[in-house]
Every structure is written in structure tokens, then in C-alpha cells.
């Protein structure tokens, strides 16, 4: 039987063949700003509206202490495909001193399948989640909205408020958390960082009466916001529900609000839409808008000043691949990261 030698590589056709780039969280932080991420996510959503993406997909598994999920998507014009594997273990900080969310993003060259980079996913996940809320607020929140409420004052709450302040001229914000001391620290530090008045409060109803932008970013498994609490003209970014066990919104909200989803299938199974479908408030036959359709001009955003809009955010890999592509291209230009010859 003849022995076949492997086909020699063509470096011009395989620009990644000099090795896979490894990038840590600290290296990513030096290469990717929140503003970069907002622009990248909006650009990816516009590409999705034009049919220039590999459709996002997700696979999840539960274990006793937490869960794992794999999310994939690709950008055809940038020639990159990403697969993100994240773990989510809520008690990690208290029990092990580890982050709640940990994981990796594998970025592949779409032209040849070469693994171009392996990136820490933590900071990218934080930034792209808030960036998507900012893009949603840009298209769905009232133009004159100046007051926000952030429910959940962890890392994601901080970046949510920062991102929202990039697309609306916020002058005041309210901070709520199950731990009042965390909300107070959040308020003091974010007031200084953003130059706006941020106040800790336990009175959700009073905060929501003033706020026209609300972001919920908690691990709650019961409704926190009720339909009666939302003022006309409110925009809600529902960020916390990323499994079928989590819930932040009363399903009745969807009787009075217009829903805009990041992904129909994902929201139907693990987002706030899941609970609205399960309760019968909405049905699978309802015509629901997707954020990329709004960004692409295929569906309207806000149509009335008094309209209540909810962005159901489960987090899709288009956001990850968009941010990871920016990081990789900047890392190459800066000579950052570590090369690993895995092939």
C-alpha cells in the first residue's frame, strides 16, 4: 500500500498556521473596551440581519452545583467562527474564591477551520452582555430617558449601568440588591466612575416610577418585576434568566409590553419568554421581534412614547464572536498573547 505524505501547508492560504494565540483576561482587558464591544455587537447584529452569519446555537447541561453551556456562531465577512464553553456555579465565590462564570472561547478561521485563538471568556462575556443591552436600549429606550434602575449590583450590574450610560444621557440611577451593603458600595463607586447620582434603595416600586430604563441582572428564580410596577414608556433589559430555572419578570408583563428577543429558540427555552409561554401569556404562534431585525430596520423599535418594551437577553454567541474577533485582530497588531503550536 503506498504511503501518502501530508499535503504541505500554504501559509498564504492558512494565515493562522503559525500557531494558536492564547489570550488571558488581563491581556483581553488591555485590548477590548466597553465602547469597542458595543460597536462590535451592533455590527454583528446588523450582519445577522443581512444573513451574513453562521446561525447561533446553544447546548446546555446541569449538574448539582451549577451548569455548563456551549454557544456557537460565526461572522462570514470576518471569516471567524466561535465556540464558547462556560460554566456557571453561583456559590463559587463563597465556597472556593472563584468567579461564578468561567470559561473559554475557541475562535476558528472559517476559511480553513484552523483554531486561531483560545481566549478567556470571563471579561468578554461581561462586556458583550452589557453591550447587547446598550444596543437594545439605543433602539428601544425613549430618547429622553435619563433615570435608570439596576437590580443586581454584581459585576454585570456595574457594566450594565456603564453601557447604558453610553447610549442615553443618564443623570440618575437607583441600585437594588438582595444585600443592601453591596448596593451601597455599587452606588458610591458607580457615582464616582460615571459622574451621575447613583442611590441605593430598597423601594423598587418608587425607583421604577421614576425610571424609564431598567436592567435586571440577578440569579433570581422568582419574579422580581411586576407588570403594575412598570411606568408607561419603560424599557427593560432582562439579563439574568439564562436557564429554565431562572426568572426575573412576572409573565403578566408580556401582556402590557412589547417583547424583543436576542434569539427565539434560546428565549423560548431559557429566557423570560420561556415563562410567558409556560404560563400561557404568550404562545409559540405570536409574532415576536428579534433584536437583529430591529437593528437591521426589518422591524420597528419603539413606536410610541408610552410603549413598554422588554429585551429578553439570554446571551448569544454572535456577541462573543464579535468581541473575540476585535481582541484577536488587536492582539496580532500589538504582538500580544502567547503562541501555542497545537497542530
- Same structural domain, 178 and 108: no
Angle between helices 34-49 and 155-167 (to 10 degrees): 70
- Same structural domain, 258 and 331: no
Give the tens place of pLDDT for each residue, 72-94. Answer: 999 999 999 999 999 989 888 88
Rg (CA), the chain: 21
Q: CA–CA separation, 330 vs 328, rounded Å? A: 5
Give the tens place of pLDDT for each residue, 106-132. Answer: 999 999 999 999 999 999 999 999 999
Q: CA–CA separation, 237 vs 216, rounded Å? A: 6
> Within a domain: residue 5?
no
> Within a domain: residue 13?
no
- Same structural domain, 150 and 106: no
Q: CA–CA separation, 189 vs 275, rounded Å? A: 34
> Within a domain: residue 12?
no
Structural domain boundaries, residue 206: 133-315
CATH of the domain at 148: 3.40.50.720
Q: Which of 71, 84, 138, 246 is catalytic?
A: 84
Is 84 designated active site?
A: yes
Are the C-beta atoms of 317 and 57 separated by less than 8 Å? Answer: yes
> Within a domain: residue 68?
yes
- Same structural domain, 105 and 186: no
Angle between helices 155-167 and 180-194 (to 10 degrees): 40
With a CB cutoff of 8 Å and minimum separation 6, the contacts of 329 are: none
- Same structural domain, 171 and 222: yes
Residue 283 — pLDDT band, cuts 50, 70, 90?
Answer: very high
- For residue 17, the model assigns a pLDDT of 53
CATH of the domain at 39: 3.30.1780.10
Give the tens place of pLDDT for each residue, 238-269. Answer: 999 988 889 999 999 999 999 999 999 999 99
Give the tens place of pLDDT for each residue, 135-187. Answer: 999 999 999 999 999 999 999 999 999 999 999 999 999 999 999 999 999 99
- Same structural domain, 98 and 202: no
- Same structural domain, 98 and 144: no
> Within a domain: residue 7?
no
- Same structural domain, 71 and 172: no
- Same structural domain, 324 and 186: no
How far is residue 255 from each of residues 114, 232, 258, 267, 284, measured CA to CA in Å? 47, 13, 8, 17, 15
**CA nearest 150: which of 225, 221, 92, 94?**
225
- For residue 343, the model assigns a pLDDT of 65
State percent of the chain over pLDDT 70. 94
If one counts the domains in the chain, the total is 2
- Same structural domain, 157 and 66: no
> Within a domain: residue 6?
no
Give the tens place of pLDDT for each residue, 201-226. Answer: 999 999 999 999 999 999 999 999 99
- Same structural domain, 197 and 326: no
> Within a domain: residue 144?
yes
Query: Which 3 state secondary structure label does DSSP give 63?
Result: strand
Asked whether residue 6 carries a pLDDT value surpassing 80, the answer given is no
- For residue 94, the model assigns a pLDDT of 85
**Phi and psi (nearest 5°) for 81?**
-125, 135
Q: CA–CA separation, 228 vs 220, rounded Å? A: 19
> Within a domain: residue 258?
yes
> Looking at residues 38-57, what average pLDDT do you find?
97
**CA nearest 215: which of 234, 197, 238?**
238
- For residue 10, the model assigns a pLDDT of 43
- Same structural domain, 217 and 229: yes
Q: CA–CA separation, 89 vs 23, rounded Å? A: 23
User: What is the residue-averaged pLDDT of the chain?
Assistant: 93
Asked whether residue 342 carries a pLDDT value surpassing 80, the answer given is no
Amino acid at each position: 500500500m503506498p504511503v501518502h505524505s501530508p499535503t504541505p501547508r500554504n501559509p498564504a492560504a492558512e494565515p493562522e498556521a503559525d500557531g494558536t494565540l492564547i489570550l488571558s483576561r488581563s491581556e483581553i482587558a488591555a485590548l477590548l473596551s466597553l465602547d469597542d464591544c458595543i460597536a462590535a455587537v451592533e455590527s454583528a447584529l446588523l450582519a445577522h440581519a443581512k444573513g451574513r452569519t453562521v446561525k447561533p446555537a446553544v447546548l446546555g447541561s446541569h449538574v448539582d452545583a451549577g451548569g455548563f453551556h456551549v454557544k456557537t456562531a460565526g461572522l462570514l465577512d470576518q471569516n471567524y467562527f466561535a465556540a464558547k464553553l462556560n460554566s456557571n456555579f453561583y456559590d463559587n465565590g463563597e465556597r472556593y474564591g472563584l468567579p461564578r462564570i468561567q470559561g473559554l472561547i475557541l475562535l476558528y478561521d472559517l476559511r480553513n477551520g484552523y483554531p486561531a485563538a483560545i481566549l478567556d471568556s470571563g471579561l468578554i462575556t461581561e462586556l458583550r452582555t452589557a453591550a447587547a443591552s446598550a444596543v437594545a436600549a439605543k433602539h428601544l429606550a425613549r430618547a429622553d430617558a435619563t433615570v435608570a434602575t439596576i437590580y443586581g449590583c454584581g459585576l454585570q450590574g456595574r457594566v450594565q449601568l456603564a453601557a447604558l450610560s453610553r447610549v442615553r444621557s443618564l443623570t440618575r440611577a437607583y441600585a437594588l440588591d438582595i444585600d443592601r451593603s453591596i448596593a451601597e458600595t455599587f452606588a458610591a463607586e458607580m457615582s464616582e466612575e460615571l459622574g451621575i447620582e447613583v442611590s441605593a434603595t430598597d423601594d423598587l416600586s418608587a425607583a421604577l416610577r421614576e425610571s424609564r430604563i431598567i436592567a435586571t441582572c440577578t440569579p433570581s428564580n422568582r419574579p422580581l418585576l411586576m407588570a403594575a410596577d412598570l411606568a408607561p414608556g419603560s424599557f427593560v433589559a432582562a439579563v439574568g434568566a439564562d436557564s429554565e430555572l431562572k426568572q426575573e419578570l412576572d409573565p403578566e408583563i408580556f401582556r402590557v409590553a412589547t417583547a424583543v428577543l436576542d434569539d427565539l429558540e434560546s428565549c423560548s427555552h431559557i429566557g423570560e419568554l420561556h415563562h410567558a409561554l409556560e404560563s400561557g401569556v404568550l404562545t409559540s404562534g405570536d409574532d415576536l421581534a428579534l433584536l437583529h431585525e430591529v437593528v437591521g430596520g426589518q422591524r420597528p423599535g419603539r413606536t410610541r412614547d408610552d410603549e413598554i418594551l422588554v429585551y429578553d437577553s439570554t446571551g448569544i454567541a454572535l456577541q462573543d464572536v464579535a468581541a473575540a474577533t476585535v481582541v484577536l485582530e488587536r492582539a496580532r497588531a500589538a504582538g500580544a498573547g502567547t503562541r501555542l503550536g497545537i497542530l
